[in-house]
């Protein structure tokens, strides 16, 4: 049986949070969350030149989008 890593609720609202809402960030972590939030946060870290770690994901579509950068 395959484990279920999808947790409904707050995860589906993560795209409403923005990296720019934080005044100072030296490093970021994009961890498993809502799909849109993960893509947006990775792009926002990259645009802001903030190094970040992208945690393991099960959805290869996120990787194919080409927005993931690990400094």
CB of 60 within 8 A of CB of 66?
A: no
Residue of 10 and 23 predicted with greater confidence: 23
**Per-residue pLDDT averaged across 42-66, rounded?**
76
**Per-residue pLDDT averaged across 46-60, rounded?**
79
What is the C-alpha separation between 49 and 44, in angstroms, rounded? 9
**Per-residue pLDDT averaged across 52-62, rounded?**
68
CB of 49 within 8 A of CB of 68?
A: no
| Residue 38 confidence (pLDDT) | 87
Q: Length of the chain in residues, anyone?
A: 71
Q: Three-state SS for 11?
A: helix
What is the C-alpha separation between 6 and 16, in angstroms, rounded? 18
Q: Mind listing the pLDDT tens digit for each residue in 20-38?
A: 988 888 999 888 788 888 8
- In the predicted model, what is the mean pLDDT of the chain? 75
């Amino acid at each position: 049986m395959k484990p279920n890593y999808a947790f409904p609720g707050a995860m589906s609202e993560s795209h409403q949070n923005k990296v720019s809402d934080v005044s100072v960030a030296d490093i970021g972590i994009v961890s498993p969350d809502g799909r849109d939030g993960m893509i947006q946060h990775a792009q926002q870290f990259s645009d802001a030149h903030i190094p970040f770690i992208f945690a393991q994901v099960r959805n290869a579509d996120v990787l194919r989008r080409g927005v993931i950068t690990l400094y």
